Every structure is written in structure tokens, then in C-alpha cells.
Amino acid sequence: MSQLMNSNIKMTSLDIAQLTGKQHKNVMADIRKEIKELGEEVGQLIFQPSSYINSQNKEHPCFSFGKDGAMQLALKYDAKTRFKVIQRIEELENSYRPYIRPSEQEIKRMNAEARLENARVRKANTYLKLSNVDTLSKEYKSILVAKASETLSGEKILPYAKSEQQTYSAKNLGEMFGVSPQRIGLITNKHNLKIEEYGEWYRDKSRYSSKEIDSFRYFDSVIPRLEEILGVDKSS
């Protein structure tokens, strides 16, 4: 009871009459009955006699009360009427609820979280933009989309696609054939070997800077073509 009495909302018997559709005199009778049943000491503590001026500029009696009195009356009525009274109580409580300014520490924390979230969104958008690069393989595009979802959520939601074939870099092939990676690149460009039949495009970090570059990874199927072009038989 004491918790209800501490509520700072104020209502009158006129408010209850308007909410319930009952005549004010009947609401007054309900309140007097409540006071009698609660006992004078408690009842008059909850319901305070008051007055109002009507449209004819005449003074008439009413009762004023807080949340405890409104709830006490609501329990007397049917479900729909109780709902209206309780809804009005909540509206009044929300209107009285003071604005509490966050502390400086809380503001700094919220700003830091906002900056971190913005950074995650920018990073995820970068992954999604890269996934639209036409030269990338389907597998690598799916990896980029998975990375975007992981960046936003903080956990792995989509599995990373893995190529079902072994792949080789130009350096790997150069070591295999005893030539430089640059020559492998020149040969595969000249003979149009950087296609899906012979490998996949990936987005790799440059060895010479922090930038990311398109890099072609070769399948086993390119080895016979390079043997043919270079005149070297790697099967022996």
C-alpha cells in the first residue's frame, strides 16, 4: 500500500466518471462505500475530499486520489472498465516520469559503442561491395558475404565456402616449372588461361602494401596446358 501511496499521479472522481461512463454521483457513492469498507483511517488517507467548479460556476464536491485510489476503484468494475482506468494510470505515470540525464561516463560508453557499431557496418559494407566484383569466383564471393554477416553479428552465421579443388599460386607454378611467377602470369594471360576452367579469382592482400588485389589461383587442370606451352612434362 505504501508503494502505491508514493505514486505522484493525481486523479479525481470526475476522471473516473469520464473513463467509466458512470454518473459522477454514482462514482462518489462508490468511493464513500470504499472508505467505509476500508475503515475511516485508511479510506480517508487514500481518498481526499475535494471540490470542483462546474460549468454554471457552482462548487461541487468530489474526491481526489493517487494511483492507490484509482486501482482500488478499478477493482470494483468490469474488465473493460478496469483496463481503461489502468491505461489512464500508465499514461499519467509516463507523463510524470522525469528525464534522467546519463552520466558523462555513460555518454562516453554509448558514443564508443556507436563508433564501434559504425565501424562494423562500414567494414561489412566493404565485404559486400567486394562480393560484387565480377572477376571473383563464386566461392570467394560467398566467403565475403559470410565475412560481412560475421562482422555485423560478431559470430559465424554463414559457413565459409571452400573450394573443392586444390589451388596453386603463380609462385607455386613457377617453382614447379622452374620459371618466375611473372612468367607464369604472362603465359596465362597470353593464352587466356585465367578462366573458370583453370582456376578462381580471389581477393588477396598485396605483399608490398596494405591494399587488397585480385589474385588468380590455378587448378590442377592448368598444369597440362603449361606443360604443353613450356614443353615440359611434369608427369615423369
Q: How many CA atoms lie within 13 A of 195 on its CB side?
A: 6
Question: pLDDT tens digit string along 170-181?
Answer: 999 999 899 999
Q: Which residues pair with 61 in a beta bridge?
A: 51
Question: Are 145 and 128 contacting, i.e. CB atoms less than 8 angstroms apart?
Answer: yes
Cross-strand partners of 65: 11
The distance between the two most distant Cα atoms of the chain, rounded to a whole number of Å, is: 116
What global pTM score does this model have? 0.39
The residue extents of the domains of the chain are 2-96, 104-153, 170-230
| Antiparallel, parallel or unpaired: β 48-53 and 59-65 | antiparallel
Whether the per-residue pLDDT at 123 is higher than 80: the answer is yes
Out of 54-58, 109-113, 153-157, which region has the weakest mean confidence (pLDDT)? 153-157
| Residue 206: per-residue pLDDT | 58
DSSP tally for the chain: helices H, then strands E: 11, 5
pLDDT for position 2: 40
Q: What ranges make up the beta strands (E) of the chain?
A: 11-12, 48-53, 59-65, 199-205, 212-218
Is the confidence at residue 133, as pLDDT, over 80? no
Task: Give the per-residue pLDDT at 33.
Answer: 92
